[in-house]
Amino acid sequence: MLEGNGERRPVPPFEDRHEQLRARVREFVERELAPHADAWERERFFPNSVFRRMGELGLLGLKYPHEYGGAGGDWVDEAVLCEELARCGSGGVAAGIGAHIGIATPPVWKFGSEEQKRRYLAPAIRGEKIAALAITEPDAGSDVAAIRTTATRTQSGWVLRGAKTYITNGVRADYFVLAARTRPEGGHQGLSFFIVDSDLPGVSRRPLAKLGWHASDTAEIALDDVELPADALLGEEHRGFYLIMANFQWERLLMALGAIGSMRVLVERVVERAKSRPVGGRPLVARQAIRHRIAEMATLLHAGEALTYHALRLFAAGTDAVREVTEAKLFTQRAAVRVADACLQIYGGAGYTGADGIERALRDLRLGPIGGGTDEIMREIVGRSLGL
Ligand SMILES: Cc1cc2nc3c(=O)[nH]c(=O)nc-3n(C[C@H](O)[C@H](O)[C@H](O)COP(=O)(O)OP(=O)(O)OC[C@H]3O[C@@H](n4cnc5c(N)ncnc54)[C@H](O)[C@@H]3O)c2cc1C
């Protein structure tokens, strides 16, 4: 919780060591990422050296065991990192790093063979190999059961045919953790996961233009008769749906944490702006309408924080937290868009024309109610938990 004097008092699930990590991450983000955010957004790409640098600092393997080069920490460590990444000023940079550590490499850790962990997880922790998670297809987004990409057994392994789209890190990734159909019948049954090296013949990718996340490479990927070795299968054959479900909780929690981090920065900025911007001879903050608007923004932030930390506590304790995680994701993504919109309003023309990264935050945060499962799908899941 943020105290009036700006100090943080560790509140569970955070402990002193998490707050020490927070200070270390914040310093790294403010010194080594934030100063480059504008340039990387213009270039529509942040350099791969960011991964290598974070690997050197031990930030890509916070929750992974020492034997693969990780820091031997816990989920809460990574939660701190993802919350603080919001301070880098580019949703795209946070998304690229988040996809690597939060959604693409966890399945290798949880379901990979020893050999797969050595070949794919360890170099990813060092920042030498970049990973992407490839589930979504042109005709299968919310409806994962509609996946059409097929992996057919051959004498030497598998052959992959199909297409993926909207894949974060898709242009730069060294490998994809990819879902494909291994049984012809539709539905949730018969999906399997594979680790696919991106330099294999038959893999081609194309960057997609988008509203926000400009520094992130989001790709469309074609898979034309890609021959995979037998050991490319990740986890059990036909059990891919369970792997997808296992991964979703952490992805959604990380998105909620990222939204909280972003809302916190926006509230800090708008308070400063309202105090320093004179209108009609008085600072903006002298107007009750402005103060009330900011109070509402802070309330959205703190409500989101409460929901998300509650879900994080349950998740970190190994408790089933599907409803709590889903509610946190649903609430925070929309709240963050509202907070960014209110912030832009208070900044006025300066906000619309780019001051303090407010318009970028609004564009970047708009992905939240779509990515990682849309608002509508979140409501379906919460509804099911109520027996609806
Ligand atoms: C920038 C970006 C990065 C992404 N990164 C990745 C990634 O790294 N890996 C990956 O695999 N995917 C990624 N995605 C894909 C993302 O997860 C999907 O966009 C998302 O799941 C929604 O799927 P869709 O876009 O196909 O929308 P659709 O499923 O086509 O949905 C369209 C609309 O219909 C609504 N809808 C769908 N089903 C229902 C229903 N049953 N009831 C009511 N409404 C419904 C949706 O809520 C939505 O509003 C990314 C997407 C974007 C835009």
pLDDT for position 6? 55
Q: 86 CB under 6 A from ligand 1?
A: no
Using the predicted structure, report yes or no on whether residue 378 has a pLDDT greater than 90: yes
Question: Cα–Cα distances in Å, from 245 out to 177, 280, 310, 362?
Answer: 14, 55, 20, 29
Q: 179 CB under 6 A from ligand 1?
A: no
Residue 333 Cα to ligand 1 middle (Å)? 14
288-314 tens-digit pLDDT = 999 999 999 999 999 999 999 999 999
Rounded to an integer, the average pLDDT of 264-280 is 97
Question: Roughly how many angstroms between the first and final C-alpha of the chain, as a whole number?
Answer: 35
47-96 tens-digit pLDDT = 999 999 999 999 999 999 999 999 999 999 999 999 999 999 999 999 99
pLDDT for position 8? 56
pLDDT for position 184? 85
Residue of 260, 120, 264, 102 whose CA lies nearest to 194: 120
Distance CA 63, CA 83 (A): 15
Domains of the chain and any CATH numbers: 16-129 (1.10.540.10), 132-238 (2.40.110.10), 242-385 (1.20.140.10)
pLDDT for position 5? 54
Confidence of residue 11 (pLDDT cuts 50, 70, 90): confident
Q: Would residue 251 show up in a list of annotated catalytic residues for this protein?
A: yes
Bridging pattern class, strands 175-181 and 203-207: unpaired
Distance CA 327, CA 253 (A): 10
Distance CA 63, CA 84 (A): 16
Q: What are phi and psi of 383, to 5 degrees?
A: -60, -45
**Nearest protein CA to atom 31 of ligand 1, as residue:** 142
Residue 170 Cα to ligand 1 middle (Å)? 16
197-242 tens-digit pLDDT = 999 999 999 999 999 999 999 999 999 999 999 999 999 999 999 9
pLDDT for position 188? 84
Length of the chain: 388
Choosing from 41, 84, 220, 251, the catalytic residue is 251
292's tokens: 């009330």
